[in-house]
Amino acid sequence: MKNLQEIHKIREEKRKELDIRVNTDLKTREKHILVCHGTGCTSSKSIEILENFKKIIKEKQIENVRVIKTGCFGLCAKGPIVIVRPEDTFYANCTPEDCEEIIQTHIIEGKEVQRLLCKDIDGTKVKSLDELNFYKKQERIALKNCGVINPEDIDEYIAFDGYLALEKVLKEMNQEQVIETIKKSGLRGRGGAGFLTGLKWELTKNVEVDQKYVVCNADEGDPGAFMDRSILEGDPHCVIEAMMIAGYSIGANKGYIYVRAEYPIAVKRFQIAINQAKEYGLLGKNILGFDFDFDIEIRLGAGAFVCGEETALLESIEGRRGHPRVKPPFPAQSGLWGKPTLINNVETYANITKIILNGAEWFNQIGTEKSKGTKVFALGGNVNNTGLVEVPMGTTLREIVYDIGGGIPNNREFKAAQTGGPSGGCIPKEHLDTPIDYESLKEIGSMMGSGGLIVMDDTKCMVSLAKFYLDFTVSESCGKCTPCRIGTKRMHEILTKICEGNGTDKDINLLEKLALNVQKSSVCGLGQSAPNPVLSTLKYFKDEYKEHVSYKKCRAKECKDLTQIEIDVNLCKGCSLCQKNCPVNAIEGEGRDVRVINQEKCIKCGTCLTKCPFKAIK
């Protein structure tokens, strides 16, 4: 148990130790080796890298070197990442075998390991993180501590102004002042619809009852999305502190974080953070000596996408199947066990402490008129720099894809970007200069969602893409309402029919009509937004639908039933490599004869295309 003075002492002493993390001009003999321990790098042996560093340093009896596990640095395409401070040297794609060379060359001899320096998209080697184009247009607020602190060390969080916002709130502000600050900041919920955060807090506070709850929605189910996971892995205490501030402002003493069990590292680190906060007296009774009690528990989700919808999430926390509730009443009036409940997602909470410390005006100046602050995106798909990015609202899609993302691999052409996952829509090439904010995305038929951003090049079939997302939605529908349960299945059947070459013009018209009906009549946000990928691809890529039904053609060659693989008799040399590698023995011919593909046996897997050295197969 720590009192306020002890917390201040920890902050003061630890901050001096950790100044090396952010002050690259510091002249010191001490080195900090930061090793990314986010899920992506961990899967690529970053745990072994960290242990190897510690082992070598111990064996060589090297002093003044610390090895630190951190959260995600963001540039996942270059992982595992190792950064040496204070030089800020950025080493990319490291392996456990590289540790010896980094220690000998960099730490002992004082020279950079040239072969491990990160290369930018143009091939030039960069020496520090700030020199990479990937970071130049980013502004890290929610991700401020990710990749800087050890997420399993509460002292490091405290050193970087951790729990200072909570202290300010408890010492200097009443409930109304906290809520007014959040309202003036213009912060909107980062989970999808973008409801004003301060207004939601105010509505929950105004209900007078004996018990209220604060809930963190960490059920991040969009394919390709990992924003909330990375924040929990890299900076769990910022979410705990923000939930406490929310609890103080609405009059709640209990919080729950609902996180999917598929996030074991995030769950582990958040539980460690809870335990440390309790040990320091930052959770529990009379926090920091003030008349304020608050505690947090973790609730694990089983992976149901529908539980990302706030009322279905509440049902799951209460121990029932995740079915959305009819609204109203809204959770602010009747949530967990019928009590007023405040629900925000991880990224929303990750902004709270910064707003309290820096002021509403500071946050209000970032972003656009109606979309304030920054947004974190999980950038994936056909883009060179895949990873986690945080940019001011209003940054254009072109800037994210080309300036930060480094463009499309193999110099292929940009075709579309999917925002908002299965609930979002496709943004075509003509809207590349669209500012990324709530209103602009809505105008062109997409949505912000939680922040998944999938880039697609010209090899992608948009009809097949719509089918892919409908396949996901059908399997994840809770089945409560008929429009979603039945309507999404019928849409998926029509899309399957079109992709198999059996579609007609009537099917396209029926698909659009059905999508609009499902959108208007489904009970919850999952069903209402499920048709978005269909409607947006019909709006911007209707010519591809027409090609599928009228000419039985898929220009991207993704729909296997509409493609045929043939061998050019003028180019075939009879080498038999294609025949030997065909998994279904669909290629016929003997000796040096020209080979022929049996179309009835061919499964169009494409193996022969990759194996032919003479490019004879088309």
What is the phi/psi pair of residue 345, to 5°? -90, 175
The strand pairing partners of 456, in sequence order, are 416
pLDDT of residue 330: 94
Residue of 575, 509, 570 whose CA lies nearest to 545: 509
> For residues 352 and 176, what is the distance between their CA atoms, to the nearest angstrom?
15
* H helix or E strand, kind and range, residue 431: none
Tokens 């910022």 -> residue: 238
pLDDT of residue 318: 95
pLDDT of residue 122: 86
> For residues 447 and 439, what is the distance between their CA atoms, to the nearest angstrom?
8
> For residues 447 and 525, what is the distance between their CA atoms, to the nearest angstrom?
12
pLDDT of residue 23: 87
Residue of 615, 425, 451, 448 whose CA lies nearest to 536: 425
CB 368 within 8 A of CB 362: no
Segments of the chain scoring below 70 in pLDDT? none
> For residues 515 and 359, what is the distance between their CA atoms, to the nearest angstrom?
44
> For residues 128 and 83, what is the distance between their CA atoms, to the nearest angstrom?
8
Residue partners of 281: CB distance under 8 A and separation at least 6: 1, 2, 3, 287, 288
Query: What amino acid occupies position 303?
Result: G
| Token digits of residue 600 | 């009835």
pLDDT of residue 303: 84
3-state helix, strand, coil in the chain (%, to 5): 45, 15, 40
Cα angle, residue 277 at apex, residues 253 and 257 outer, rounded to 5°: 55
CB 299 within 8 A of CB 270: no
Cα angle, residue 40 at apex, residues 158 and 229 outer, rounded to 5°: 50
How many CA atoms, within 13 angstroms, populate the side-chain half-sphere of residue 565? 27
pTM of the predicted protein model: 0.92
SS3 520: helix
> For residues 305 and 278, what is the distance between their CA atoms, to the nearest angstrom?
32
pLDDT of residue 65: 95
What is the phi/psi pair of residue 564, to 5°? -140, 130
> For residues 267 and 303, what is the distance between their CA atoms, to the nearest angstrom?
14
> For residues 50 and 268, what is the distance between their CA atoms, to the nearest angstrom?
18
